[in-house]
C-alpha cells in the first residue's frame, strides 16, 4: 500500500512541478491577498493589535482553499481521461491513486503556507508563542489541510469535468471570508454573525491565532471536531466515488 501510494505521490508531484503557471499561482496568490488585506484594508480594521498578526491564520486557510482547487481539478482529470482504467489493470493498491493525490495536495498546500508565513515574518510578523505553541499551531494547520484536501479529492471524483471540479471548490475558498479570518465576527451584521461563528473556519482560525499569540486555544475542541468530521466525510465520499468510477 505505502509503496504504491508513494509512486502515485511522485507522479502527482511531477505533474504539478511541470505545470509552472499553476504552481506559481498557488504559491503567490495567498501572498498577494495578504498584502492586499494588510496594506489596503488593514489600516481601516481595528483588531486590537497589528493587523498582520491577526490576518496570518486566515491566510493559512486561504492557502488551503487554493490548494484544494488544484487538487480537485487534478483528481477529476485522472478520473475523466482514462487513468483509472489504466491503473486498474496493474497489480497495485486500488486506492493508491486517490491517496497519492491526497498526500501531494497536503504537501503542496503546507509548502504554500510555509512560504506565506516566511513572507509575513519578513514583513514584520512576530507572534509571541514559543516552540510548543508553534508546534501545536502547525498540527492544527496540518489537520485542517488534510480535512479540506480530502474534501477536494471527493469533489474531484464527483465532478463531471475538471472545470466543474475547480468550480465546486470555490465555496471552500470563500468560507474563510465569512469567518473571523479577516475581521472580528462581532463587527458583522446580527443575521450573519451566527453563521460566521458556527462554521468550520472560525474555530480553526481562532485556535491557530490563540496558539500563536499564546492566549490559550479556547476553541480547540470545536476546531479539531470540525476537522475530524470533514476529513471523515471526505474520505467516505471519495471512497464511494472511487469504487463507483473504477467499477464502471
* Cα distance between residue 65 and residue 71, in whole Å: 10
- The tens digit of pLDDT for each residue in 6-24 reads 877 888 788 878 878 777 8
**57 Cα distance to chain centroid:** 12
Per-residue pLDDT, 224? 94
pLDDT digits (tens, 9 = 90+) for 23-58: 788 788 888 888 888 888 877 888 878 888 899 999
The model's pTM is 0.89
Are the beta carbons of 202 and 185 closer than 8 angstroms? yes
**Rounded to whole angstroms, how far apart are CA atoms 157 and 98?**
9
- Say what the pLDDT of residue 162 is: 81
Amino acid at each position: 500500500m505505502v509503496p504504491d501510494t508513494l509512486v502515485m505521490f511522485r507522479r502527482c508531484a511531477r505533474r504539478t512541478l511541470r505545470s509552472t503557471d499553476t504552481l506559481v499561482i498557488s504559491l503567490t496568490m495567498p501572498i498577494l491577498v495578504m498584502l492586499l488585506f494588510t496594506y489596503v484594508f488593514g489600516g481601516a480594521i481595528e483588531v486590537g493589535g497589528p493587523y498582520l498578526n491577526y490576518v496570518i491564520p486566515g491566510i493559512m486557510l486561504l492557502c488551503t482553499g487554493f490548494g484544494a482547487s488544484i487538487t480537485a481539478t487534478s483528481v477529476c482529470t485522472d478520473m475523466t481521461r482514462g487513468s483509472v482504467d489504466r491503473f486498474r489493470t496493474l497489480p497495485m493498491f486500488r486506492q493508491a491513486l486517490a491517496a497519492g493525490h491526497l498526500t501531494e495536495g497536503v504537501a503542496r498546500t503546507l509548502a504554500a503556507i510555509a512560504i506565506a508565513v516566511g513572507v509575513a515574518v519578513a514583513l514584520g510578523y512576530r507572534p509571541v508563542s514559543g516552540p510548543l505553541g508553534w508546534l501545536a499551531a502547525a498540527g492544527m494547520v496540518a489537520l485542517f489541510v488534510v480535512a479540506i484536501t480530502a474534501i477536494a479529492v471527493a469533489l474531484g471524483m464527483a465532478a463531471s469535468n475538471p472545470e466543474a471540479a475547480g468550480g465546486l471548490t470555490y465555496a471552500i475558498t470563500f468560507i474563510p471570508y465569512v469567518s473571523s479570518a479577516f475581521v472580528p465576527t462581532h463587527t458583522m451584521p446580527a443575521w450573519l454573525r451566527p453563521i460566521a461563528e458556527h462554521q468550520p473556519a472560525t474555530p480553526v482560525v481562532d485556535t491557530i491565532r490563540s496558539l500563536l499569540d499564546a492566549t490559550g486555544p479556547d476553541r480547540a475542541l470545536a476546531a479539531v471536531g470540525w476537522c475530524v468530521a470533514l476529513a471523515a466525510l471526505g474520505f467516505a465520499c471519495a471512497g464511494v466515488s472511487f469504487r463507483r468510477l473504477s467499477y464502471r
